[in-house]
A = this chain, B = another copy of it.
Amino acid sequence: MKLSTKSRYGIATIYDLAMHYGQGPISLKSIAQRQLISENYLEQLIGPLRKSGLVRSVRGPQGGYSLTKSPDKISVGNIIEIMEGPILPADCLSGDNGDINSSCTRINICVTRNIFSKLKDSMDAVLDSITIADLLEENKPQGD
């Protein structure tokens, strides 16, 4: 039960962009260097962030990426959902109006459904409550 590095890298990337918010486009190369992420890999990860509209790109030299909204409008849950899809502890939670998929039958249907539903709610609550602005605040050099 773990999140992949995609989420971590995604958060690190948005965090990095947030540190340079309003300073024009930031190149992937520099983000990769600061955050110690493979540039090639990061190239793939930024795709979804761009397609989701969280990030905007400028091509050509001096190009790069920038946030489309201010850091306090972006939650960690937001990024994780983009990078890994919705938090679904179990498949049978997928249907909006409670589809029950084939493997989720018999006696234990409601049992596990309820558990995973509660789990999801609790996870979403935590992740949606933390914004990138919070992270900036936490990590201020001499915030105190």
**List of B residues within 8 angstroms of A135 by Cβ:** 111, 115
Binds B, one of A22-30, A44-52, A57-65, A82-90: A82-90
For A5, give the chain B residue with the smallest CB separation. B103
**List of B residues within 8 angstroms of A12 by Cβ:** 107-108, 111-112
Which A1-34 residues have C-beta < 8 A from chain B?
A: 1-3, 5, 7-8, 11-12, 15-16, 34
Using known A-B contacts A1-B80, A89-B2, A118-B126, determine if residue A106 contacts B11 with beta carbons closer than 8 Å.
no
Instruction: Determine how close the nearest CB of chain B comes to the CB of A36; give it in whole angstroms.
Output: 5
Of B88, B112, B123, the residue contacting A119 (CB under 8 A) is: B123
For A1, A36, A80, A118, which residue has the most chain B Cβ atoms within 10 angstroms? A1
**List of B residues within 8 angstroms of A76 by Cβ:** 115
A-B contacts, 16 of them at CB < 8 A, read A1-B87, A1-B88, A2-B88, A8-B112, A11-B111, A11-B112, A11-B115, A12-B108, A15-B107, A34-B106, A34-B107, A35-B108, A36-B103, A110-B139, A118-B130, A122-B122
